Structure 1
């Protein structure tokens, strides 16, 4: 190497030594600091004169003589110490977080070279993040709602209520799994789309959540974007609303069904017949309305009691469902009166066949509490469009036909305008 090249290298090293932001220092075989660059003094406050007074690192706040000897022995054996975060004391007593490393030299009077980087700010940020995370964890563990943290489709955190919600034993059974495991596989993409849309709109959604044991609950889900562990993630809050959902479904059911027989009620029947009339008006199909009444029901109800009467109505409703087609709609009007919407009849005879079958089924004895009860049914029938084109008129005319059937009982009658009582 030429003298010129040597001078260039030394100048470069001098520039680095004097201008780097990291503290660099050399260590002698006796443990003294031989030299330190300006950044060392800038970071820790110690100057070269301070090192002449010590044969141990004065910036080590708690190093014993024995530990110092072990460190020197390690350097003499050629062992380097890679980067690690530790504590170092400034001359004014302030303790800093330092990213430290050492390289064994064992050449000339230099045993090793040390390098320090002030890491106090980075560690303070990390401590704040950790404190923020710890605060978040403590908070979510005490709220009753289930919290799932999701990133890139995977669950990264759950609280105890969430573990209980899905029926898991530990968080490890959930963390690392896709959030879509909460719904059936064929609904996973739709579910992911909905929770992401919810995070943008801030509107809750209601979903069926499947538990580990195969059962499911109804969950109200609120999704929001948050920062967790310095990452942007989705916080998914799930509230069990199964009881509320079941109550709503029960109310909806009761709004359209008869509580005794489970058949549809007059409100539902009217909505359905109006819809069918609107559709069949364009299709030129025949519809039938059967108005049914049980013969002698009042006498049975009065003599045997309302409990027996209710059981009779429930058993008759079963026979009624078995006598009509699956496409037909059955309604309990009230008391012992029923309505049936006969869909898509080919002709008048189709209605007659169904009515005749029901008359025959009604005559078969009913056994209730070991009591044999015999009744029959009377049926009035009106047809669309010949007897009317709206639900009110058709029901009214089937009622008129029923009035005539009740004269002889156990039979059916079609509406006949020429014999109408109105």
Structure 2
């Protein structure tokens, strides 16, 4: 299930006007144990003042002199992953939340970390599958080329049986680290479940196949725990998006694409090939 900023934002807001004193802003923050205040004038967000801003300003100055005027905001309907990405990119601790040009809430880094951690796989510290689904929806809306890469460990049940589940877990942890080292700004990685991992590749099918071959080769060269031999089968499904129909269920399309990549992986195992590709332009509904 998707999680949106509007579901976890704080709606009981403390705000301050631009012509109030810095001293008053400091007092409000102190009394309410908060690190920042949206600055509002005529119901419009005009800035934000943080504890860092206050430390650099004289207490008798007005807020307008100390506040940050170019405020980074996020919409109420944004996902928690979009909020996380924006906070990390801008290196900020809080985001005012806007809906219909009105300030409706605020989300802090601490609250966001608390929520995002619920969607992180404990063993590998990788996101769970919901993260990939949300990123894929973003790419669909941008009408981008993208590909789903479904990664499955061959005979993992045998590895667990012969070496024990503790060793098996360590192998999965190693695989997670290896995959994390392979991805770049065009990739989004998650642990899908069990011995399965998923990569959303923001790029053409041809480039994704090249990337998948790189993963296969890296797996062969990797020093696995107890010199256990690890082989992967990768299923790839991708297609180009040319438009979105009104009311279209984008998440259903993404889940369908993931399922096709999973089936490709299963077929690859039956055919004893490392990479099996489904060129599924038709699996994503085209606009008329």
TM range (shorter): 0.5 to 0.7
- Equivalent pair of 2:174/2:224 in contact (CA under 8 Å): no
Q: What's the CA shift for 1:186? A: 10
The RMSD of aligned alpha carbons is 4.0
In structure 2, distance between residues paired with 1:378 and 1:338: 11
Matched, 1:353 2:210: yes
Q: What's the CA shift for 1:330? A: 0.9
- In structure 2, the CA distance between the partners of 1:249 and 1:374, relative to structure 1 (3 Å rule), is same
- For 1:379, the equivalent position in structure 2 comes to 234
- Structure 1 counterpart of 2:181, from 322, 330, 339: 322
Q: What's the CA shift for 1:383? A: 1.1
- Structure 1 counterpart of 2:116, from 240, 253, 260: 253
Q: What's the CA shift for 1:410? A: 6.0
- In structure 2, the CA distance between the partners of 1:279 and 1:367, relative to structure 1 (3 Å rule), is same
- In structure 2, the CA distance between the partners of 1:323 and 1:185, relative to structure 1 (3 Å rule), is same
- Structure 2 counterpart of 1:362, from 219, 234, 241: 219
- 1:60-79 to 2 correspondence within 5 Å? none
Q: Deviations over 1:111-140 (max 9, x none)?
A: xxxxxxxxxxxxxxxxxxxxxxxxxxxxxx
Q: TM-score, normalised by structure 2?
A: 0.56
- Equivalent pair of 1:295/1:410 in contact (CA under 8 Å): no
The SS at the match of 2:123 is coil
In structure 1, distance between residues paired with 2:169 and 2:112: 24
Q: What's the CA shift for 1:351? A: 1.6
- For 2:22, the equivalent position in structure 1 comes to 153
How many residue pairs get aligned? The number is 195
In structure 2, distance between residues paired with 1:349 and 1:271: 23
- In structure 2, the CA distance between the partners of 1:375 and 1:152, relative to structure 1 (3 Å rule), is closer
Matched, 1:294 2:157: no
Q: Deviations over 1:18-50 (max 9, x none)?
A: xxxxxxxxxxxxxxxxxxxxxxxxxxxxxxxxx
- For 1:6, the equivalent position in structure 2 comes to none
- Equivalent pair of 1:312/1:366 in contact (CA under 8 Å): no
- In structure 2, the CA distance between the partners of 1:181 and 1:392, relative to structure 1 (3 Å rule), is closer
Q: What's the CA shift for 1:269? A: 1.3
Q: What's the CA shift for 1:349? A: 2.2
In structure 2, distance between residues paired with 1:187 and 1:385: 51
Q: Deviations over 1:190-221 (max 9, x none)?
A: 79669xxxxxxxxxxxxxxxxxxxxxx99xxx
In structure 1, distance between residues paired with 2:65 and 2:230: 54
In structure 1, distance between residues paired with 2:152 and 2:197: 7
In structure 1, distance between residues paired with 2:141 and 2:263: 24
- Equivalent pair of 2:53/2:67 in contact (CA under 8 Å): no
Q: What's the CA shift for 1:294? A: 0.7
In structure 2, distance between residues paired with 1:365 and 1:408: 24
- 1:75-224 to 2 correspondence within 5 Å? 152-154=21-23, 182-184=51-53
Matched, 1:272 2:135: yes
In structure 1, distance between residues paired with 2:162 and 2:135: 37
In structure 1, distance between residues paired with 2:277 and 2:268: 9
Stretches of 4+ aligned residues off by more than 4 angstroms: 184-194
In structure 1, distance between residues paired with 2:273 and 2:126: 22
- For 1:391, the equivalent position in structure 2 comes to 254
Q: Which has the higher strand share?
A: 1
Matched, 1:262 2:121: no
Considering Cα pairs closer than 8 Å and 6+ residues apart, tell me whether 1 or 2 has the greater RCO.
Answer: 2
In structure 2, distance between residues paired with 1:383 and 1:154: 57
- Equivalent pair of 1:258/1:332 in contact (CA under 8 Å): yes
In structure 1, distance between residues paired with 2:257 and 2:192: 15
- Structure 2 counterpart of 1:338, from 186, 190, 197: 197
- Equivalent pair of 2:54/2:66 in contact (CA under 8 Å): no
